[in-house]
Chains A and B, each alone.
Chain A
Amino acid sequence: MKRLHQPLTSLIDETRKVTFSWEKKEFTGFKGDTLATALHASGVKTISRSLKYHRPRGLYSLDGEGVSTMVEVDKMPNTRAETTQIKNGMTALAQNYTGSLNFDLKGINDKLSWMMSAGFYYRMFHKPEFLWKRVIGPIRNTAGTGKLDMDHDYGRQVEERFLHTDVCIIGGGPAGMTAALAAAKTGASVILIERRGQLGGFYSWRTALINGLAAVSRGRELETQVRAVSNILVLDNTFAMGVWGERQVTAYRKGKEDEPFFEQYIEIMSGSVVSATGCLERPLVFEHNDRPGVMQADCAHRLAHQYGVSPGKRIAFSTGDNLSLEAAADLAKLGLKVVMVADSRESGHDPELLKELDKLNIPVWKNYSVSRIWGQSTIKKARFTDIKTGASTIVVCDTMVTNAGRTADVRLLSTAGAKVRYNKNLGYFEPETLPENVFFAGRARGFESGVNIEASGYHAGLDAAQALGFAVESFRKEKVLENEVHSPCLIARSSYIGKGSKSFVCFDEDATYKTLVQGVEAGMERPDLAKRFVSVGLGAGQSALPGSNLSLLLSEITGKYIDGFRPTKVRPPIEPISLDTLAGPNHAIFKVTPLYDNLIKTGANMQRMGIWKRVKYFGEDPSCKEEVKNVRNNVGITDVSTLGKFRIFGPDAKKVLDRIYINPMSDFKEGMLKYVVALNQDGCLLDDGVASKIGKEDYLFTTSTGHAAKTIEWFRFHSRYENWQYNIVNLTDQLSGVNIAGPNSRKVLEKLVDIDLSRDAFPHNGIQKASILGVEAWLMRVGFVGELAYEIHLPASAASSLWDVLMEAGREFNIKPFGQEAQFILRLEKAHVIIGQETEARVNLLDVGMGFAWAGKDIGSRKVGAYALEVAETQSKRLKLVGFTVDDPEEFPMDGAVIVRGDNDVIGNICSCRYSQALEKPFGMALVDESLSGKGSKLEFFQDGMNIKDRIRATVCDTPFYDPRGLKLKA
């Protein structure tokens, strides 16, 4: 269809055709069109079906507030047709119908609506319980929410952006722009947020004169000024979601075609906030007010002026404000047929506009409003009723432009904590008080003239800067506010709608005037109760459209004073945001040790473990038989760089260690390591490692890989009340570590260091400083895998060379690397506990049989977890850690398999289970009820995939499984 010619206000480029598909048919529009405008221009009026009654719905506001325009675009459900620009090749589908969009089989619900009263689902299926389970599926299917294609790669790039600014202004209309210019003038940094693609607000589609200049031109003039100022950052296409404590603003921005992201999450910390969000049109409630062809005045105005699309062939108005009169005149001036204008106000009409309408031969019916329309997917006729007398007239039309006047958009202020009340002079809900450093400007304050709106923004911008200490006085006198006469529209509905069973208060949830009345009869007369019971504003539109009407209608139905009712509290996000944008980009950040290249060259299979990528195993065999055998019989080498390494020093360092570790701290021996265990307040295991005194008031200690990052925070937390003098340094990334383990490890290391490595000079649990490759290194004789072993910690930059040198030195012994899985098996044969594998949140030090580490009853040092151990010591029926071997070597239970007694009792679970080459059968450790923890007890395992009656049997045995006397370890 040919577009109307609109050189001044047009947003479309008629020289650039865009082809897209809708419901599998091809359509064309122009660059700049939204999906909704392009479809409307092509004669498609119905673009969705409503949630409950499956009524046809079409475009309404062009800002996408409600679900009525939610469609599936390129497989993405719930995309707003009104705010989605068309692109070549775009595929769009309607949602929520069975059969076809124009003949929805579920439309039967509309006919059955008489049986679905307010709270229908709550009451009808409340009891008996089984009924709800039966009906919930079909009900969910009937309700339209769109479907994600789980197999489709949506390929959406999201970003995050964190900004700081002095003044954050929300709303890029005339007030927002003048506020930005004013604040920027004082030297403040400014961020201006605008949801549409261009600044200008309600100036953008108007040609009325503001100070002798067409509004749209004035808007562009201001936009040019704003964009030229270097300390104003303009964020267009950006939706503010909420204002939080201390004026943090959250928003998201939709990427333009040339931007690398689909959506960008934005968080702004600002000194002051100016809300210049303008007004919303309050929907008029009348019978069948949801039919395609019913639209708001701005919608009709913008369709014609910005997109060159005729709203309809015979357009009737039932509105309540001067901007609508202007819209009616503008449409008529384009040659469109405006049948008549009903205005629900008695007075307050702009005399100039009345004169213009008169000249255009458009009758204006004061004190009238539409009470009902006829027609299904197109309007056929409408009934207009005199608000006072009830006299009715039928008018033939195909488009109904309606509103019940305007209301201030105070949703953002509400999220900021402003309490909202009704102002009868304006017919608006407005903030009673504003939070600190939050300001409020523009049309939402009740100004109608452009001059006043701009002045109000200007002063709010200055106020916002002044609150932050910027000098503003010299700029004050530039703009003044003029007096205005207000002419509010005070009604929310037509008085002649009968029961109002098809008079929709909330389009999202198909809540009608009738159900609202039923809600009140059921006692839900306060807005917050009625909202939930009747489902008004619970949908994706987040109360944008029905929010004000709900309070006004309730006040009318109950006859109680409007002042007593406040609108329901608006909570962020006031604009719906996709979950993937909130989740943020997935950068998959991980750390690798300095040995990464050496390991890869040796055939390592890397796996992400926590923040690190570590070696699971080398070569082809995930069961690591050769790796294990080589460590037991020869010598293996492994990367231990990820271990946490810390130095703590200072006069009170020992006191802190005494607080954190459950072990006694009185017995540090020179040149020796001490095994240390940290507990939480419950006495449960948190971490373990080794510690050594390396100087006066100077200690070195290690932590497990997983606990390294939290260590300093934990130390400081538990000494927060003490005025202790100590310093703690995280050396984890500075020092790398290599462990060589196996009977031949001494012979390998001897080739590299000139210190005495004999058993007497450097015994098990010894620590020595040595020079290796000319670099100072710590050598530790630790035995996690149960063999003669040395851990070498040295500066990270030397680690790669050390690995090569050790491999070379070990070549004559056939040294081989081993990974995490081999280490896991080796230590399991020694029954060495891994915290988090053999322990869980409720398992304490005594349960795992490590009571030897406990210093005993604690008087002075207040060790973390000590008191809990004291209490637990006398408790019975706790889980105990035991070793077991599986009776039938062919059966292999998995980690996590449960231990059962009889048919129903779960009395424990397997922590780790592996195959032991030494024992030639599967073995492992399990947490089990203490009654079954004695040697020889029979355990019965059950795991997923087994027949319900089957069990795997095992026997509790002594630990360690390998080298019980530690002769190899201490060799």
Chain B
Amino acid sequence: MFTITCPICGKRSQKEFRYGNEDLGPMPPRERLTPELYLEYIYSNGNRAGVQKEWWCHKQGCGSWFTVERDTLTNLQVNTGEKK
């Protein structure tokens, strides 16, 4: 259990948010896609032990998606997120 700082609503319990996976950037363009690359993009996670950039949705609040940098070892947020 930890907290997430929503860029609109502020610091809230993580229970209010939905996790939207690590930030992997936009999907590669169709010309570059192979089944392997697609699989990698959709399902492979870095499972980083340390700071990672990730997506969260404030589902019980404003509903926006935003990224935060979270240290997965301490569950502490490094920045306070930026609105997307």
Interface residues of A (CB under 8 A from B): 162, 244-246, 248, 250, 267, 269, 417, 681-682, 712-713, 716-717, 720-721, 857-859, 862, 867-868, 871
Contacts and interface: CB of A to CB of B under 8 A. Distances in A.
Nearest to B59: A713
B22 to A, nearest CB: 13
Contact of B74 (A267, A417, A717, A859): A417
A245 B18 contact: no
Contacts of A871: 35, 38
A417 B84 CA distance: 32
B75 A720 contact: no
A245 B75 contact: yes
A251 to B, nearest CB: 13
Given A245-B1, A246-B2, A720-B55, A868 B65 contact: no
A720 B74 contact: no
A777 B25 CA distance: 42
A682 B77 CA distance: 31
A250 B1 CA distance: 10
Contact of B57 (A245, A717, A867): A717
B8 interface: no
Contacts of B20: 717, 720
Nearest 9 Cβ contacts at the A-B interface: A245-B2, A245-B75, A246-B3, A721-B26, A244-B1, A720-B65, A681-B42, A716-B65, A871-B35
Contact of A713 (B3, B26, B33, B57): B57
Given A712-B63, A862-B27, A246 B11 contact: yes
Interface string B37-69: 010001000000000000101010001110000
Nearest to B70: A245
A713 B57 CA distance: 8
Interface residues of B, number: 27
A682 B3 CA distance: 31
Contacts of B26: 721, 862
Contact of A721 (B3, B25, B33): B25
A281 B73 CA distance: 33
Interface in B7-45: 11, 13, 18, 20, 25-27, 29-30, 33, 35, 38, 42
A248 B29 CA distance: 42
B1 to A, nearest CB: 4
A244 B26 CA distance: 33
Given A246-B75, A248-B1, A713-B18, 6 more contacts: A244-B1, A244-B75, A245-B76, A246-B76, A716-B63, A721-B25
B38 A868 contact: yes
A681 B21 CA distance: 14
A859 B30 contact: yes
11 contacts: A245-B3, A246-B2, A248-B1, A248-B3, A681-B42, A713-B65, A716-B57, A716-B65, A862-B26, A862-B27, A867-B38
Contacts of B63: 712-713, 716
A720 B84 contact: yes
Contact of A867 (B3, B33, B76): B33
A246 B84 CA distance: 24
A244 B2 contact: yes
A682 B29 CA distance: 17
Contacts of B75: 244-246
A682 B35 CA distance: 11
Contacts of B29: 862
Given A245-B2, A246-B2, A858 B65 contact: no
A583 B2 CA distance: 19
Contacts of A868: 38
A858 B35 CA distance: 15
Contacts of A244: 1-2, 75
A868 to B, nearest CB: 7
A712 B65 CA distance: 11
Contacts of A267: 13
Given A716-B57, A716-B65, A720-B55, A858 B1 contact: no
A246 B77 CA distance: 9
B3 A858 contact: no
A226 to B, nearest CB: 27
A246 B74 CA distance: 9
Query: Which interface residue of A250, A712, A862, A867 has the most chain B CB atoms within 10 A?
Result: A867
A871 B3 CA distance: 40
Contacts of A682: 42
Nearest to B20: A717
Contacts of A717: 20, 55, 57, 65
A762 to B, nearest CB: 36
A717 B84 CA distance: 10
A245 B74 contact: yes
Contacts of A859: 30
A862 B2 CA distance: 34
A171 B65 CA distance: 39
A716 B64 contact: yes
Nearest to B41: A681
Contacts of B3: 245-246, 248, 269
A720 B75 CA distance: 23
B2 A867 contact: no
A681 B33 CA distance: 13
Nearest to A860: B30
Contacts of A720: 20, 55, 65, 84
A719 to B, nearest CB: 9
B30 A269 contact: no
A250 B14 CA distance: 14
Contacts of A248: 1-3, 13
A227 B18 CA distance: 39
A245 B78 CA distance: 13
A267 B84 CA distance: 30
B57 to A, nearest CB: 6
A597 B65 CA distance: 39
A340 to B, nearest CB: 50
A244 B4 CA distance: 13
A681 to B, nearest CB: 5
